[in-house]
A and B are shown apart, each in its own frame.
Chain A
Amino acid sequence: MSNSKKPNAKGNRNGRGPPPWAGNGRHVERDGDAVAVGRRPREDARDRVAAATSQIDRVEAKLDVLLSILDDGGRP
């Protein structure tokens, strides 16, 4: 079986792309009379895990990822 299809957002190469309910993956957060549109906090935390230069920074970032997952109802 050929594996030459373009990978979708999950990288699973099924050729169908992300599902329509996945949205654009951006996070909109309201704070009073302002909204911030950007990456989800979990994505930032995962980047901080990868970029951490000390063990304590890595642990803190991983905790942020776990808290974000819990905030999102346990969805990974």
Chain B
Amino acid sequence: MSSIRWARDGDHLVKLVETDVQTAEVRGTNPARVLRVSTAGDGQLVNDGSATETLRVEVVDGLRVARGTDPADADVLDVDDDATLVVDGSEQTLTLMEGSGTLDVSTTAAAGSTIDVVARELASHPAESDRTQIDVVRTQ
């Protein structure tokens, strides 16, 4: 009979595998911070160049995620840091205050294409990346 628990160890998580006899620790793989990138709207963007979709990037608690909470429901951590965001292949730096930051996206790209967005890393701490897509639709 064994059980698994997760604990924080600095910037990473420790996996504790407990049996009746001993406890084993698996260290240094999962970051304690998880990036979450989401769109404020429906994830679609009209290609008239003036409509905007707001991207929200947040740092959430990796410990809660490891324990089974969906990243979408995990608590936002109160941290200030710079996140590297890759928008359609182009690196952008986004300053996060109290664990969160936003970036407005507009486009004149062809309808039917997609804009890939990857929240890749934090400047000061290891973090799990996240990605989303914006669908480009034709001007009404």
B93 to chain A, nearest CB (A): 9
- Indicate which residue in B89, B102, B107, B113 contacts A36 across the interface (CB closer than 8 Å): B107
A34 x B106 contact (CB < 8 A): yes
User: Which residues of the partner chain B approach A5 to less than 8 Å between Cβ atoms?
Assistant: none
In the complex, what distance in Å separates the CA atom of A50 from the CA atom of B115?
28
B87 x A33 contact (CB < 8 A): no
Chain A interface SS verdict (over half): strand
B102 x A33 contact (CB < 8 A): yes
In the complex, what distance in Å separates the CA atom of A37 from the CA atom of B88?
8
B102 x A38 contact (CB < 8 A): no
The answer to whether A24 has its CB under 8 Å from any CB of chain B is: yes
In the complex, what distance in Å separates the CA atom of A35 from the CA atom of B105?
5
Chain B interface SS verdict (over half): strand
Give residues 46-104 of B contacting A (CB, 8 Å): 47, 49, 52, 87-90, 92, 102-104
In the complex, what distance in Å separates the CA atom of A39 from the CA atom of B107?
9
- Indicate which residue in B88, B90, B105, B109 contacts A34 across the interface (CB closer than 8 Å): B105
In the complex, what distance in Å separates the CA atom of A24 from the CA atom of B110?
11
The answer to whether B108 has its CB under 8 Å from any CB of chain A is: yes
User: Which residues of the partner chain B approach A76 to less than 8 Å between Cβ atoms?
Assistant: none
User: Which residues of the partner chain B approach A33 to less than 8 Å between Cβ atoms?
Assistant: 102-104
User: Which residues of the partner chain B approach A63 to less than 8 Å between Cβ atoms?
Assistant: none
A34 x B104 contact (CB < 8 A): yes
Q: Which residue of B lies closest to A39 (CB)?
A: B108
**B residues whose Cβ falls under 8 Å from a Cβ of A:** 47, 49, 52, 87-90, 92, 102-109, 113, 115
> Can you list 14 A-B contacts with CB-CB less than 8 angstroms, sorted by A residue number?
A24-B89, A28-B90, A33-B104, A35-B90, A35-B104, A35-B105, A36-B106, A36-B107, A37-B87, A37-B107, A38-B107, A38-B108, A38-B109, A39-B109
